[in-house]
Amino acid sequence: MTNRVATAADLDGLTATLTAAFAEDPLWSWAFPEREDLAEWWRFSINSALRYSSTWTMEDYAAAALWIPPGGTELTEGEEAQVEPMIRRLAGSRASSIMELLQRFDASHPNDEPHYYLSLLGVHPDHRGEGLGMALLADNLAGMDAEGFPSYLESSNPSNNSRYERLGYVQVGELSTPDGTRTVTTMWREVPAEARASAALRE
């Protein structure tokens, strides 16, 4: 399938695919048990990420990857102010736990080296088992290697960790939900030595 950079016109398609992809995810189904709540949260996050030209999709939205580029932020300052009211509206009595989880994500994020951050990677359930997610990720990483930037991600599903490791990621830490029932693996990928050398020659 063909990969392309997503635009604002893709917001509905991206939201549908990523909501379906994470509906049974160990972490995000804990945070947002109701699918429509998860869809609203993802739509909010995706809409912000689309201000950068680093969100990718496959044809028919079979898979999608949201990257925050070096120096970028997941949300604007104005959007940050909307997060807590939204979470409290969506989650009610569970809002404090979700806000604490988001704070743990922020605290775990590396800040000492410019890098790409994989905010979301998902495959539509109709296309699971076809290797599309890892193919999209590998294609994205090739471009980042050419630029000379490492990357960081959080794996919310332990079954995906080995897939990320095959593409060069290593575990650098972990965090858990406030109730301790879910664990997230934080992973970092250095630019391979050959790619780093090639990028340096182009500078």
Q: pLDDT tens across 118-138, in order?
A: 999 999 999 999 999 999 999
What number of residues does the chain have?
A: 203
Three-state DSSP state, 97: helix
- pLDDT category at 193 given cuts 50, 70, 90 is confident
User: Residue 198: exposed, middle, or buried by beta-carbon count in 10 A (0-12, 13-18, 19+)?
Assistant: middle
Mean pLDDT for all residues in the chain:
95
Q: Average pLDDT for residues 83-96, to the nearest whole number? A: 96
- Indicate whether 198 pLDDT > 70: no
Three-state DSSP state, 129: coil
Percent of the chain with pLDDT over 70: 97
pLDDT value of position 195: 74
pLDDT value of position 196: 73
- Indicate whether 1 pLDDT > 80: no
* Other Cβ atoms within 10 Å of 3 Cβ, number: 18
